[in-house]
Amino acid sequence: MIGLRPRRSFKRLRQAMFSGRRPPRFCFTSGNHVRLFKGGVQFFPALIERIDNARKSVSLETYIFANDDSGRAVSDALVRAAERGVTVRVITDGIGTESNLPMFKLWQERGVEHRIYNPHLLFGPLGFSRTHRKLALIDETYAFCGGINIVDDYDQNGTRLERPRWDYAMEAQGPVVRDVREAFDLQWQRIRLGVKPRQPTQPGCEPQETESARAPGRWNARRAMLARRRARLGEIHAVDQPCVAFVARDNLLNRRAIEKAYLRAIAHAESEVLLANPYFMPGRKLRRALVNAAERGVRVSLVIGRKEFVALDYATPFLYGNLLKHGVRIAEYEKTMLHGKVAVVDADWATIGSSNLDALSLVLNNEANMVLVNHPEIAGLHDAILQAFDEGRPIDEKHYASRPVTERALNWLAYNTYRVMMKMITIGQYD
């Protein structure tokens, strides 16, 4: 097992992330306390406890809000908060969540504000995009982010799983919470307007100077804001300091933010890349980065989920050949439903969030990930991904090459059908 220690490779990564003309659409901050949760059995009690202790505000955004035991428990906590005067805002997706859940009427009666992101099945004011984020913000003090929907761990589209799904989320307390708040507020405004408003200030970026900012009466406030931004950007250069960044992708200015975070980390990997994802259909850039890392001698291990969408079960294996040929290790996880979207690079960089590695998440949907650097919590995630890889079904290169002709044909057809469909939906952005 690779030891968990700061690596020189990440010094170069930190410098590279902030050396270009255009700063990245996120920034790292230090001084954040982090907790990781595996599955709903750990996540939901922690979330409900924070909601029950909220004094000012609760904001929650999710793709799925189910009318099951887990969903009703979270809903009850939201209602309790609203009844004691806390401002409660909830965003659900128009497709991922049923539009006529009984709890929605209760929310309206008890003062829970609820907005639905893009209720149109086909093209609407927000395009084809969905909100696939899983976020919660409590009193602007605690922020939750991950892959866990508000749904029972054992439920899979109405089918009872034998084991809880494999999934992860995290809680952050510290400066990074501000970026989560900005992303949620922008989403709340976007839904209200039914359009994609221009974001005035991008997390991790210098704001543009406007006429109002040049006004003498606002100069001191502007100078303080710029100083705070520059200080936050500079914190990533700390060699051994644990850092956290919030990375949100949208269809305005942060179109490739999450993909670029992956690409930068993999490009600077020296020893190991561990990646677990349920829907593995990345574009050429990300596949090439994994291959290049393996050719450099980096041990690249992929844990890929199965048995949720039949079409992907046939399409994804089409990508295995080139990856295996260059030394990438692949295991298909079938012990239960793998839903976590996590990765660890060189044991000192990790990401946890909602973004799958497919066209919908990387190019179209609203997604949100956290990136951790040099945090001690990375060790547990590192071991969990390795364990999942060991529990998965390894894909052997020779056995893969000897597949029947009919299976190869199905893989080719499924992959190319998927690729054409995604190019149409994303207007050619998926590569």
Residues belonging to the active site: 132, 134, 139, 339, 341, 346
Distance separating alpha carbons of residues 342 and 320, to the nearest angstrom: 20
Distance CA 405, CA 33 (A): 53
Residue 3: exposure state from Cβ atoms within 10 A (0-12, 13-18, ≥19) = exposed
- Paired strand residues for 127: 124
Contact 375, 244 (CB under 8 A): yes
Parallel/antiparallel/unpaired status of strands 159-160 and 168-173: unpaired
Neighbouring C-alpha atoms within 13 Å toward the C-beta of 38:
12
CA distance 65 to 193: 23
d(CA 200, CA 259): 23
Hey, what amino acid is at 414? Answer: A
Exposed e or buried b for every residue in 171-209, given b needs 16+ CB within 10 A?
bbbbbbbbbbbbbbebbbebbeeeebeebeebbbbeeee
Tokens read off for 109: 């009666």
- Residue identified by tokens 């050396």 is 19
Identify the three-state secondary structure at position 205. Answer: coil
- Using DSSP, how many helices (H) and how many strands (E) does the chain show? 15, 18
Please give the distance of CA 20 from its chain centroid, rounded to a whole number: 24
The closest alpha carbon to 164, from 175, 180, 152, 173, belongs to 152
Q: Are strands 87-93 and 113-117 parallel, antiparallel or unpaired?
A: parallel
Q: Give dist(CA 195, CA 6) in Å, integer.
A: 43
- Strand partners of residue 393: 332
